[in-house]
Structure 1
């Protein structure tokens, strides 16, 4: 069992979590994502693929790739260069054409093997919150894009955290949504022996972060469960009904930045 004190950490700027505990959480996350009723499988990944579109011949970087399974799938879908970066180093055996690199997404410019490279798509799939400084992480990613490239970024709906804390603390939704103090929590679905510290964020925090990084929102999506999946997994639909799910953004560089 991992000692909680060894992985408890302070939140970084712009509502982020430090990446240090991820090595401990990675295996639990991948096991949860592999479940048949995983919201990642039912909702998130299909929506992410739709926003990405055809990837044939494209160079793609997955920042915070977990075990690398998604970037491997994109390689299988025709991506010409597929690179995954994750701090855990807990990777699948990469198939041909896939590079998996142990490194911190907080500063992609210093990750071994990435200097001077350009990508058509850069992904932050539920990983952006682990950047030490969100603005800097996105600025670096923006500079690594090709001329027509974009960033696909997904984040948990911030109201979810406000609801959970309001229930736990006996407060109101508004109080918790606009709270600024970091809070400790354990992700029971991944590893309930790991204590994380998260800084709350609002929608305006996210939008201001994108703007400060020199990005504009080309498309935004709040995906829902398909009716057949909702009927098959009503317990998962209940989660979506209560906590609202996930936000997805397709981000492009602002002209002249």
Structure 2
């Protein structure tokens, strides 16, 4: 499930940062993302789309797809097969060439309808933090890639959560950045009655996870708000100035690690 960086948010998997509470919050999240001043609309999706490049004729899998709107857009942009997986099951009516499957991104190979399939692009758009075992989740995704495929993974800048916790608790930034205990919070913009948990992480945590999963970083991007949007929505630029925004990684299998040959290319 994608996350608007204007507020800490959940994603589409069981056993990681949140589980069943996300099914309650999914509707509120999608409404927030649809606002014209959503940072997802202004910053995240344009940068994600640029990293993906031309998807014409490709098979794309969105792990933690929310309601499926983004994977549907990729189908409209020419993807030959577009598959979305999310734990919430709150999907749009899928257009042609789009499959929306209810399932846990922690083990994509176990999701009904995905076994033995391969994809040119696999997306974890703000959803990766909700995998029960991050390394295994990425290893499984790596094995589902075609020979020239890659994973597009995005995560909120970890300093952002450290800043929030240090302000709330009166502690130092460094103390909270290197904290290891999960923390609970409620999302004021979606449903304050639902309590969520999140595992803190550092930049080294992310890099070591990629390496342990047999992946290397071909490109890393920290997108910023366009000047026109910053002028139009200064309150959103203020969020970016304070919390640093989002990290995006284009990940490929390390040389010598070949995808499984018993899988079937989707398309």
- Tell me which interval the TM-score lies in, with the shorter structure as reference length: over 0.9
What is the rounded CA distance, in whole Å, between the counterparts of 1:41 and 1:48 in structure 2?
A: 11
Q: Deviations over 1:67-92 (max 9, x none)?
A: 00000000000000000000000000
Residue 21 (structure 1) shift: 2.1
- 1:18–1:131 contact (8 Å) kept in structure 2: no
Aligned residues: 245
CA-based RMSD: 1.2
For 2:247 and 2:48, how far apart are their aligned partners in 1? 10
The answer to whether the 8 Å contact 1:28/1:190 transfers is yes
Structure 1 residue 121, shift from structure 2 partner = 0.1
The offset of 1:190, in angstroms, is 2.1
Partner of 1:193: 193
**Could you tell me which residue of structure 1 aligns to residue 165 of structure 2?**
165
For residues 90-169 of structure 1, what are the structure 2 equivalents within 5 Å? Answer: 90-169=90-169
Partner of 2:52: 52
Counterpart secondary structure, 1:255: coil
Deviation at 1:118, TM superposition (A): 0.3
Instruction: Using the TM superposition, give the Cα deviation of residue 171 of structure 1 relative to its aligned residue in structure 2, in angstroms.
Output: 0.6
Structure-2 separation of matches of 1:151 and 1:187: 28
- TM-aligned CA deviation for residue 188 of structure 1: 1.5
Q: Which residue of 2 aligns with 1:21?
A: 21
CA distance in 2, matches of 1:214, 1:190: 36
- Separation of aligned partners in 1, 2:256 and 2:24: 41
SS at match of 1:118: strand
Query: Aligned partners of 2:23, 2:131: CA distance in 1, in Å?
Result: 14
CA contact (8 A) 1:19 1:132 kept: no
Whole-angstrom distance in 2 between the partners of 1:21 and 1:190:
12
Q: Which runs of 5+ in 1 are unaligned?
A: 1-6
Deviation, structure 1 residue 191: 1.8
1:223 aligned onto 2:223? yes
Of the structure 1 ranges 33-42 and 184-193, higher mean CA displacement relative to structure 2 is found in 184-193
Q: Once the two structures are superposed, what CA deviation does each residue of 1:124-183 show, in whole Å capped at 9, x if it has no partner?
A: 000001111111110000000000000000000000000000000001101100111111
Q: In the aligned structure 2, how far is the partner of 1:177 from the partner of 1:150?
A: 29
- SS of residue paired to 2:84: strand
* Residue 4 of structure 1: aligned partner: none
Task: Answer yes or no: is the 8 Å Cα contact 1:19–1:104 preserved in 2.
Answer: no
CA contact (8 A) 1:18 1:132 kept: no
Tell me by how many angstroms 1:24 deviates: 1.1
Structure 1: distance between partners of 2:243 and 2:56: 35
SS at match of 1:193: coil
Task: Give the unaligned 5+ runs of structure 2.
Answer: 1-9, 258-267
Deviation at 1:189, TM superposition (A): 1.9
Query: Which secondary structure state, in structure 1, belongs to the residue aligned with residue 194 of structure 2?
Result: strand
The 8 Å contact of residues 85 and 101 in structure 1, kept in 2 or not, is answered as yes
* Counterpart residue number, 2:85: 85
Superposition map of 1:173-192 within 5 A? 173-192=173-192
Please tell me whether the aligned partners of residues 125 and 152 of structure 1 are also in contact (alpha carbons under 8 angstroms).
yes
